[in-house]
């Protein structure tokens, strides 16, 4: 796909994403098989497609809630300053929670979110991320379950954007600037 000053190279197909989401959902369902209700917490905005597909594959009673954070704005670089733009609507104390992240990059956002959620004393917590870029990690944090480990490329699609564009792509693509 070609844009004004960049091209998007195919990286992970929609078919590969669907297969991995199904597999991850089976792992999550097994991990929380005895739960009364799993609170699935999506980190907006990038995780919305992933969380929608993931919860449809879970064989558990679920409640969905969202947190919105900001550390990028329209930039390709994290500011490392994480702000909570939208907090959870529901209570998570003594509840089983699954945190759903689109991509773990520097780790600052996930680390901040996990500290916040742990302070609210959930019964059990698991973190799943569609993508992980371990080469960029600046904070010692990791997801319990990762869809795909990727190299240090700026990616878009399947909910992930660049300056609010390309979220609607059904696949993950790598952005390559052309000039």
pLDDT digits (tens), the chain, 179 positions: 556 788 999 999 999 999 999 999 999 999 999 999 999 999 988 899 999 999 999 999 999 999 998 765 444 555 567 788 899 999 999 999 999 999 999 999 899 999 999 999 999 999 999 999 999 999 999 999 999 999 999 999 999 998 889 999 999 999 998 87
Say which residues have a Cβ less than 8 Å from residue 110's Cβ, sequence separation at least 6.
Answer: 99, 101, 104, 127, 129, 139, 141, 143
Report DSSP letters for 30-56, one per residue.
HHTTT-S-EEEEEEETTTHHHHHHHHH
**CATH domain 6-72+81-177 topology:** Rossmann fold (3.40.50)
Hey, what are 74's tokens?
Answer: 């329209």
Given the residues 53, 96, 105, 132, select the one marked as catalytic. Answer: 105
Q: Are strands 172-177 and 155-156 parallel, antiparallel or unpaired?
A: antiparallel
Distance of CA 117 to the CA centre of its chain: 15
CA 95/CA 38 separation, integer angstroms: 7
Distances, alpha carbon 173 to alpha carbons 11, 24, 52, in Å: 5, 21, 20
User: Terminal CA-to-CA distance of the chain, rounded, Å?
Assistant: 15
From the list 99, 109, 102, 174, the residue with the least C-alpha distance to 141 is: 109
Q: How many other CB atoms are there within 10 angstroms of residue 30's CB atom?
A: 10
Assess whether 105 carries a catalytic annotation. Answer: yes
From the list 128, 141, 171, the residue with the least C-alpha distance to 24 is: 128
Q: What is the pLDDT of residues 152-163, one digit of tens each?
A: 999 999 999 988
- The ranges assigned to domains in the chain are 6-72+81-177
What pTM was computed for the model?
0.91
């Amino acid at each position: 796909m070609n844009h004004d000053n960049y091209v998007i190279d195919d990286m992970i197909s929609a078919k590969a994403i669907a297969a991995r989401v199904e597999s991850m959902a089976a792992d999550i369902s097994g991990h929380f098989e005895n739960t009364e209700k799993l609170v699935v917490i999506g980190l907006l905005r990038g995780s919305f497609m992933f969380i929608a597909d993931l919860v449809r594959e879970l064989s558990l009673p679920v409640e969905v809630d969202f947190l919105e954070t900001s550390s990028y704005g329209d930039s390709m670089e994290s500011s490392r300053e994480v702000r909570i733009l939208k907090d959870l609507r529901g209570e998570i104390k003594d509840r089983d929670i699954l945190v759903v992240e689109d991509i773990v990059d520097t780790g600052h956002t996930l680390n901040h979110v996990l500290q916040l959620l742990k302070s609210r004393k959930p019964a059990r917590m698991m973190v799943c991320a569609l993508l992980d870029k371990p080469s960029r990690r600046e904070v010692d944090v990791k997801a319990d379950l990762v869809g795909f480990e990727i190299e240090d490329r700026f990616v878009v699609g399947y909910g992930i954007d660049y300056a609010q564009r390309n979220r609607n792509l059904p696949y993950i693509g790598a952005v390559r600037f052309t000039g």
